[in-house]
Amino acid sequence: MMQVLHVDDEPVILEMTQFFLERTGEMQVTLCTSAEEALKLIETTAFDAVISDYEMPGMNGIDFLFELRSVGISVPFIIFTGRGREEVVIEALNHGADFYIQKGGEAKSQFAELRNAVRRAVEKYRADQEIRESERLISEIFRHLPDATFAVDCAGRILAWNQAMEMMSGVAAHEIIGTGGHTYASPFYGVSKPSLTDVLLHPDKEVPATYTVIQHEKGQIIAEIEDVLVDGKPAVLWAKATLLYDQNGNVNGAIESVRDITAQKKAEKELISTGEYRRTMIEAHIDPLVTIDSDQRITDVNAATEALTGVGRDALIGTAFCALFTEPERAEQAYQMVMAVGTVREYALTIQGVDGDTYPVLFYGTIYQGRYEEKRGVFAELHALLPGKEENNICHAMAPSFTEQVGGLSSSQ
């Protein structure tokens, strides 16, 4: 229900207004005979709209309206008076009145017009309040986004610069908002230059060569860039730019978020480097080596394994490790022993070659762990026991296994 305050020095008008506005059940009308009394009432009571006469003893309707607006009270205000001079209408509207309705004429139609004016003013006020609240929430969300983010209009002027961007760039929002000429790039490049937002707002332009594009589709670009500085140090940034649209679907700017991924990129490079090092060690080893995941499937082999089994690396990867042997259940037992106790040495197995021949081997296995010390699988070394090479076999059995050599390396993967 709408709470309406009506201020008029004529009690008859107040009673008539209350009768006609409350008869539909959508409004409740509170009556006041002076603007001074109304100001005191508004301090303690919330109203959805105010109806006021113009000519009243003491403070008139325009002065009453001015007092409300001067203290930030924006409640809908309707001048309802018998005075009809044009200058009064103009003065009322200039001071923020929502409607000006002149008294007189047939009562039913007059109060129907007043009721419609109140309804329209309240509905518009409530809608505007919702929009303002929504905009306030969006502004707060934008300001506290975890990624450094800025927004520009179609002319490239900076509209917003959030808290994370202030921290990353070292530039306060009030220092840069409103500026143009690609100033958003200065904190990172030392000079002003176009970024992804500029490409989105000008489709004829290409993404600068300094970016590595990950995704480029209508209205959005995701890319990485390396030649930037953060806190004066070389950095790698992930950037995402998206077009902004108004309520009619027209482009009215662009927003760009950036994230410092320097540490992540460094970790990726170290992981690749470690992987390459491990792969080199595997290939350099004379004995067959196999890595097996937690599902007992082969994830990698070296050339010696290919030679022993007669099967290529690509064909072996993804297959069941235990299927390599004439007694798969013994191979599975060896695997489970490694997972249980950490290491198994000189466990006799027999490989079934693709040519139909069988090859006795000694299985040496050790567990390998992930970054958080979780069990990831098993490194297996297979010493082939070649006929007539007993001395060589003994040397193999006495030598430190490859899994012992790379045990420390595996725990870092």
Q: How does pLDDT run across 65-99, given as a tens digit for each residue?
A: 999 998 989 999 999 987 666 777 788 888 889 99
pLDDT at 132: 80
Residue matched to tokens 């409607």: 99
Distance, in Å, from the CA atom of 14 to the CA atom of 100, rounded to the nearest integer, reads 17
Structure tokens at 215: 């995704």
Evaluate the CA torsion angle 101, 103, 107, 111 in order and state its sign.
positive
Note the pLDDT tens digit of each residue in 235-270: 899 999 999 888 788 898 999 999 999 888 887 777
Residue closest to 255 by CA, chosen among 359, 141, 344: 141
Distance, in Å, from the CA atom of 150 to the CA atom of 167, rounded to the nearest integer, reads 12
Q: At how many degrees (to 10) do helices 35-44 and 61-70 cross? A: 30
Q: Which contiguous run of DSSP H or E holds residue 19?
A: helix 11-22
All domains of the chain, ordered by start, with CATH?
2-139 (3.40.50.2300), 144-260 (3.30.450.20), 267-410 (3.30.450.20)
CB within 8 Å of 278: residues ≥ 6 apart = 406, 409, 413
Q: Which contiguous run of DSSP H or E holds residue 350?
A: strand 343-352
Indicate the SS3 state at residue 374. coil
Note the pLDDT tens digit of each residue in 150-167: 999 999 999 899 999 999
For residue 394, pLDDT beyond 50: no
Distance, in Å, from the CA atom of 47 to the CA atom of 368, rounded to the nearest integer, reads 72
Confidence of residue 387 (pLDDT cuts 50, 70, 90): low
User: Measuring CA to CA, how many Å separate 255 from each of 61, 158, 188, 315?
Assistant: 46, 10, 17, 48
pLDDT at 86: 72
Distance, in Å, from the CA atom of 210 to the CA atom of 119, rounded to the nearest integer, reads 58
User: What is the phi-psi region of residue 158: left when phi exceeds 0, alpha when psi lies from -120 to 50, beta otherwise?
Assistant: beta
Are 366 and 342 in contact by the 8 Å Cβ rule? The answer is yes
pLDDT at 197: 93
Residue matched to tokens 């502004």: 139
pLDDT at 152: 92
pLDDT at 400: 42
Residue closest to 50 by CA, chosen among 66, 71, 29: 29
Note the pLDDT tens digit of each residue in 174-213: 999 999 999 999 888 888 888 999 999 998 888 988 899 9
Are 54 and 79 in contact by the 8 Å Cβ rule? The answer is yes
Distance, in Å, from the CA atom of 347 to the CA atom of 258, rounded to the nearest integer, reads 54
